[in-house]
Amino acid sequence: MHHIGNTNLAYKAEEIREQDEKKRLEVIKGKRDRQNEMKRKWMFRKIVNASTCSTFMLVIGVLGLIVYHHIELHEVTGEINRLNTEIRKLENENVHLASRLENTVSLHVIAEIAQNELGLQRLDKYQIEYVSLYKENTIELMHDAPRETFAARLNYSVHDMFRNAKEYIGAP
């Protein structure tokens, strides 16, 4: 019986060892599971932090571009406004200069200058020369310009200048 008791004890000891081994393996497995869980959580946090940082950097980049383009737009708008103001100023100056030119170039003003400053007089009808056009590209005068005296040539030149000015502006 002693032999049976020893076998029974050996069997029980073997069973206890197996249970201890199972418990030890369960503890090791539990530690590994906890470590793996902690590693997963750590990786998840790392991924979340990386994606959060990436998203944050992307948002900052987009906001930076928006601000940059807003500044550029503001500068271009200011330049356009400045140029429009300059255009209006130049157009006003152009109108002013055109009116001054019109006043100085008008036939009345030219006639006044010719009479008062140059001592010229209006031509009578018998002094007017007519030009006849017989061919398409030629002009023939009824008679040549007077060449006898300096005064006659000057009178003819001034008359010719006024006639050309009248033709240019379309006056009858």
How far apart CA 97 and CA 148 sit, in angstroms, is: 42
Last residue of a domain, one of 54, 82, 110: 82
pLDDT, tens digit, 9 for 90 and up, residues 60-119: 999 999 999 999 999 999 999 999 999 999 999 999 998 887 777 777 777 888 888 888
| Domain assignment of residue 34, yes or no | yes
Last residue of a domain, one of 57, 82, 107: 82
State yes or no: pLDDT of 146 exceeds 60.
Answer: no
How far apart CA 80 and CA 123 sit, in angstroms, is: 55
| Domain assignment of residue 152, yes or no | yes
Query: Which range (30-34, 44-48, 52-56, 159-163) has the least confidence?
Result: 44-48
User: How many domains does the chain divide into?
Assistant: 2
| Domain assignment of residue 91, yes or no | no
Instruction: Bin 148: left if φ > 0, else alpha if -120 < ψ < 50, else beta.
Output: alpha
Residue 136: give the domain boundaries. 122-169
Task: Give me the pLDDT at residue 138, please.
Answer: 60
Tokens 């109108």 appear where? 95
Q: In 3D, which of 151, 160, 92 has the Cα closest to residue 100?
A: 92
The reply to whether 64 and 138 lie within a common domain is no
pLDDT, tens digit, 9 for 90 and up, residues 8-21: 777 788 888 888 88
